[in-house]
Amino acid sequence: MKTDNALLPREAILEYQEIYKKEFGHDISYDDAREQGTKLLRLFGLIYKPIPKSWLVPQKKQNKKRIKHKRV
């Protein structure tokens, strides 16, 4: 899958390469790092969206009066 470079700055790709090496113990090419990072951003773009108001369950207002307990 070919991805465009506009989504990730060069510094972010280099940082990803460093993180990848620390986590997996081997290097990843610049192109592979760019592709994986771009795919990750696209995935987040698809799944991370605000929850529609119609999905929210209205919460009941709690009684603000304190209940005094009798000591026994």
Quick count: other Cβ atoms within 10 Å of Cβ 68?
Answer: 6
Q: Is this structure's pTM higher than 0.85? A: no
pLDDT for position 6: 62
**Phi then psi for 24, rounded to 5 degrees?**
-110, -10
pLDDT per residue over 4-49, tens digit each? 546 799 999 999 999 999 999 999 999 999 999 999 999 999 999 8
Domain positions in the chain: 5-50
- What is the per-residue pLDDT for 20? 97
Kindly report the length of the chain.
Answer: 72
Q: What is d(CA 25, CA 12) in angstroms, rounded to the nearest whole number?
A: 19
Query: Considering Cα of 41, then 45, then 47, then 49, what sign does the dihedral take?
Result: positive
Which pLDDT does position 57 carry in this prediction?
A: 82
